Structure 1
Amino acid sequence: MAYDADIAIIGAGAAGVGAARRLVGTGLSVLVLEALPRVGGRAWTREAAGIAVDLGCGWLHSADRNPWCGIAEEVGFAIDRSEPGWGAQYGDLGAPAEQWRAARQAFDDWSERLAAEPPASDRASDALEPGGRWTAYLEALSGYISGDELERISARDYVAYSEASTYRNWRVRAGYGTLIASSLPADTSLRLATPVEAVTLKADGVALATPAGTVRCRAAIVTASTHVLAGESIRWPAGLDPWREAATRLPLGRNEKLFLEIVGTGPFEPETHVLGAIDDPATGAYYIRPLGRPVIECFLGGAGARAAEAEGHEAAYARAIDELAGLFGASVRGCLRPFMASDWAATPTIGGGYSYARPGCAPSRLALARPFEDRLFFAGEATHPTDFSTAHGAYETGMRAAGEAMAALTLRPSRAGAGAKG
């Protein structure tokens, strides 16, 4: 068949951008298809009233080995290397200092047990102390870290990430989403607002059905989220069922962000952090005046994110303001107003935050990463064995999948004569 491209990339998030960057200068024609009307996927910097915020990924985790740092420096994006304020509860608000110390120690102890004596069940919750005083606190942290409660989290998967992390966390002042969106090679053929509706394998390539017509390519790199892979929005080849089953074992957790604008001054110190409540698994985590900006970022995970999804943004904002007023005093209500919020779970082409492995399912990451008949290649944060849930993990898998696709095409010359149309 006549090709529209040698390689089509499904998705223009961090993995799709990584794949496109790997294919630059190879002589292969590349076409990126993105269902959203923008580049970046779960990386999205938005600006309003002169304030830029990251609705998706915001921290360059394992920054000292994160490839996005090198990319940022190459193109002149300023990186903020100051330490995040997560490590302490500002002013010990909400509970006595000894309770905050005990809660953090309980998390450290649980983490050590998980690594040293992993439970046979592979359920992260089975490393908890029975009836432990700080279980609600640990469940809240699990929501932020993994997007779900500990009973549904693979201990092996959690430890794999933890052991690989360097725990260096930096930021891009212009926004992580801005960096990723601007890093797609300028000469890449890109079709935004073009969802793929069906993937069909042909004798000599792949056909991708879209509302704008069928795209024909020699190979395709799939960077769709596990929600999309396991769902019904795209019709997949029947032989892909094992890949789709792997995706169901790597669901997307629930993670959302709310931003409150600070009007006037208020008792809010820049680069400080508070947890709304020490004993509530659904509580918000609040990062105050990030990079000195007049906002408070409320990060919701697990139970908190599900509540926001069920009740709507208005109720979520009200709950966040209530928690902050409970910590800082009722007077802060007058200087906080809703600013911006994410809605990842309700975005059909994404469907949640980032992937976690169910108990016993950590090997599914490698299973999902396998090529299919040397024509479909899989990338995305869920396919990284250790750096899942991160933009740099997604980027690295895009680079890996692009290399696999190039190798396969080298062994499978085009049957279309003159080659792709570009």
Structure 2
Amino acid sequence: MALPNHVDVAIIGAGAAGIAAARTLEKSNLSLLILEARDRLGGRSHTVQLPGDITFDVGCEWLHSADRNSFVPIAQDIGFAINTIRPRWREQTFNLSFPTNQRALFVTAIDAFYDRAEAASDLPQDSAASQWLEPGNSWNPLINAISTYINGCELDKVSTYDMDAYEDTEINWRVARGYGALIAAYGAPCKVALNTKVSLIDHSGKTIRIETSQGTLTADKVIVTAPTNLIAKQSIRFSPALPDKVAAAGGLPLGLADKVMLALDAPDDLPADGHLYGGIDRAGVGSYHLRPMGQPCVSGFFGGRFAQDLEDAGEGAMAAQAIEEVSALLGSDYRKKLRPLAESRWAHDPYATGSYSHALPGHADDRATLAAPVDGRLFFAGEATSPDFFSTAHGARDSGERAAKEVLGLIG
């Protein structure tokens, strides 16, 4: 689409935050436009339909804290069915390499770790969450592996204060047709300029000038929802510069969590919605969902440095690793029963370069710094600005609504 010369409010990014900002403002008399670098809506949410009618959420998949998740009523309103089968992430469907008595010891160890970290959040100084691992505990590698799934990084890069601030009701559901599809449907009414990469936000004048790959436009107010890595690296520049925003984004880097989907021949051989850890003695290991929502597939999940190594090894490395680990558990016959279908590569996505944010030790306050408006004209949203639901799609959505209300409050 041709860009207009001017809009009242320009929104940078058509992920959950940007879409929510636009939907919140849609009944105002303000002219709106979302500027999106990708050729689709959704940002770090994206659903694809794979052969065999398999739904694959390349990005966010779970309605975390579903009893407080603002996307649940949205899904109900627009007719997206919700699957309420809850995950079995702490379990191992079979006793293979992780028998019941060992699982009980692991649960005790990880709960004790979280108790220590929670107590440490009351200390006067922040710390790396890894400091609260029990020295020499044999379960530390698996606890670290779980951090790579939750935070996208190992515990040495996680702020204890920030980890404690996250609110988790432990109710996790899924969208049957895909979370990414739901978010795209939520954004369908919005006016969006796709394939429009923003490079400069010049707020030096009376109106804000925005330079993009499709031309220049001006706006009275701008809501920025770009991922922290792009702000920190100044892929989007501000003039005058905003060093506090750049520094805050740098303290909230995107961790890495990647997924791979494997087709499963003879799916009835495995239980639906089962779970396996690829190993229990190392942090670099996959977590596997067997036949998610009953589909004839196995989805694998990798995080942190291990996910980065697999991405850097090239396309197909993640699937090969997943097949290796699952076959080692279930038997060599599964090498013939599992076939690669798709995988994510978020570190190599130029418009994300990661998956979701975590606060580095000592940087938990950066979320509030990044969220704060500038001069009543620049507003900031995105999952990294959420005080308690960061790293989630609904945290991003809620932040977009918050930023839009800040705009409306100033306009009156």
- TM-score scaled to structure 2, two decimals? 0.96
Question: Which residue number in structure 1 is paired with residue 153 of structure 2?
Answer: 148
**Residue of structure 2 equivalent to 1:93:** 96
Match of 2:59 in 1: 56
- Alignment partner, residue 405 of structure 2: 403
Gaps of 5+ in 2: none
Q: Does 1:83 align with 2:76?
A: no
- Counterpart of 2:242 in 1: which secondary structure? helix
- Partners of 1:240 and 1:95 lie apart in 2 by 50
What stretches of structure 1 move > 4 A for 4+ residues in a row? none
Contact 2:270 2:291 survives alignment (8 Å): yes
Structure 2 matches for 1:13-28, cutoff 5 A?
13-28=15-30
- 8 Å contact kept, 1:21–1:185: no
Counterpart of 1:67 (choices 62, 66, 70) is 70
Supply the distance in 2 between the matched residues of 1:4 and 1:236 (Cα, whole angstroms).
18
Name the counterpart of 2:385: 383
Q: CA deviation at 1:82?
A: 1.7
Q: CA deviation at 1:216?
A: 0.9
In structure 2, the CA distance between the partners of 1:150 and 1:36, relative to structure 1 (3 Å rule), is: same
The aligned counterpart of 1:269 is: 271
Letter of the structure 2 residue corresponding to residue 275 of structure 1:
Y
Q: In the aligned structure 1, how far is the partner of 2:386 from the partner of 2:337?
A: 42
Give 1:202 deviation, angstroms: 4.1
In 1, Cα distance between equivalents of 2:194 and 2:271:
40
Provide, for residues 264-315 of structure 1, a one-character-per-residue CA deviation record: whole Å limited to 9, x for no partner.
3363211000110001211000011111111111111112211212212322
Q: 1:256 & 1:273 partners in 2: Cα distance?
A: 17
Which segment drifts farther, 137-146 or 199-208?
Answer: 199-208
How far residue 182 of structure 1 moved from its aligned partner, in angstroms, is 0.6
Match runs of 1:220-369 below 5 Å: 220-265=222-267, 267-369=269-371
- Determine whether 1:105 maps to 2:98: no
Letter in 1 for 2:251: R
Rate the CA distance shift 1:267–1:94 in 2: closer, same or farther, 3 A.
Answer: farther
* Residue 33 of structure 2 is aligned to residue 31 of structure 1: yes
Could you tell me how far apart the structure 1 residues matched to 2:98 and 2:67 are? 34
Given that 1:263 and 1:335 are in contact with CA atoms closer than 8 Å, whether structure 2 keeps it comes out as yes
Report SS of the residue matched to 2:94: helix
The unaligned stretches of length 5 or more in structure 1 are 411-422
The two structures, once aligned, show a CA RMSD in angstroms of 1.4
What is the TM-score normalised by the length of structure 1? 0.93
SS of 1:338 mapped into structure 2: strand
Structure-2 separation of matches of 1:405 and 1:239: 21
Q: Distance in 2 between matches of 1:184 and 1:96?
A: 45
Letter of the 2:7 partner, please give it.
A
The corresponding residue for 1:413 is none
The one-letter code matched in structure 2 to 1:130 is: P
Structure 1 residue 136 corresponds to structure 2 residue 141: yes
Shift of 1:184: 1.4
1:168 paired residue among 168, 171, 190: 171
Are residues 1:193 and 2:160 paired? Answer: no
Q: Which amino acid aligns with 1:407?
A: G
The 8 Å contact of residues 240 and 372 in structure 1, kept in 2 or not, is answered as no
Q: Does the 8 Å CA contact 1:24/1:185 hold for their aligned counterparts?
A: no
Identity %: 42
Matched, 1:114 2:117: yes
> SS of the residue aligned with 1:102?
helix
Q: Distance in 2 between matches of 1:168 and 1:350?
A: 27
Contact 2:318–2:343 (Cα < 8 Å) also in 1: no
